[in-house]
Amino acid sequence: MTNKKKAVIAISAVLAFIILAVCITVPCLYENGLLGDIHPMKKAKDGQVRVACVGDSLTYGLGVEHWTKNNYPARLGGMLGGGYCVNNFGYSGRTASPEGDRPYIAEKLYKDSLSFAPEIVVIMLGSNDSKDGNWKGKDKYIEDYVNIINSYLALDSVREVYIMTPSPVWTVKGKEPYGISPEVISDQIVPAVEEIAERLNLKLIDLYSIFEDKPHLFKDGAHPNAEGAGMIASAVYDAITA
């Protein structure tokens, strides 16, 4: 066998290994919510109630095992049944603030959530606003969040908007996970979300209280596992069907 043929065989073997690795790894990343820009949107069938789940990585399902079926909007859709079309418009790392490092309203996904013409909107934003450089104070957060909420309330299709407090965050080995501040969330963002709900007469889903004594569900200190995602889905289901 010539050296040229040996080289071709060796290169082919390497390429085959790379292709195999990609074929194995990409679905694994996708299934666990680690490919942050993948959001297949379902088209509502005639007669289905359209539900838009808007938010950051907690809505998206970052780190949730078997993401495609265990992120909270997917679980919620299963609970509500065939009369509802639930879409996941969560985008990891996004902020309510338009001045944050990754504003939610700057994303195409936000525009998609509006064009979906939802009848029910469930919103959870704030964890990433707590980061250094993003946090501009409680009053500014309220102003920015209200502007987002009003953009949904302005839709003719919308009949109900629910807002959720962020879940608690725990330090991991003495460090704030992803730069998210547990103190800003507990002391400023949660009270701000409660104030917004009262001001706009919105139904509030208090995830902070639900998870306050359940740090074991947050392996990285910030994102719930599949069990936690199921608990979020149950809380939203209870609110919608109350």
> What are the φ/ψ torsions at residue 32 (nearest 5 degrees)?
-105, 15
Q: What's the whole-model pTM score?
A: 0.85
Residue 67's pLDDT is 83
Residue 3's pLDDT is 55
Residue 2's pLDDT is 67
Spatial distance between the Cα atoms of 93 and 7, rounded to a whole number of angstroms? 45
Cβ atoms of 113 and 54 closer than 8 Å: yes
Spatial distance between the Cα atoms of 97 and 129, rounded to a whole number of angstroms? 7
Spatial distance between the Cα atoms of 164 and 122, rounded to a whole number of angstroms? 7
Give the torsion through C-alpha atoms of 195, 196, 199, 204, to 10 deg.
-90
Spatial distance between the Cα atoms of 28 and 170, rounded to a whole number of angstroms? 26
Helices (H), the chain: 3-31, 57-60, 67-70, 72-80, 108-115, 138-153, 182-184, 190-200, 207-211, 226-241
| CATH number for the domain running over 37-241 | 3.40.50.1110
Spatial distance between the Cα atoms of 183 and 197, rounded to a whole number of angstroms? 21
Residue 33's pLDDT is 42
Task: Report in angstroms the alpha-carbon separations of 233 from 38, 73, 134.
Answer: 20, 7, 28
How does DSSP assign 136-186, residue by residue?
--HHHHHHHHHHHHHHHHTSTT--EEEEEPPPP---BTTB-GGG--HHHII
What are the per-10-residue average pLDDT scores of the chain (242 residues)? 52 43 39 53 95 97 90 98 97 96 96 97 98 95 98 98 98 94 98 98 98 97 97 98 96
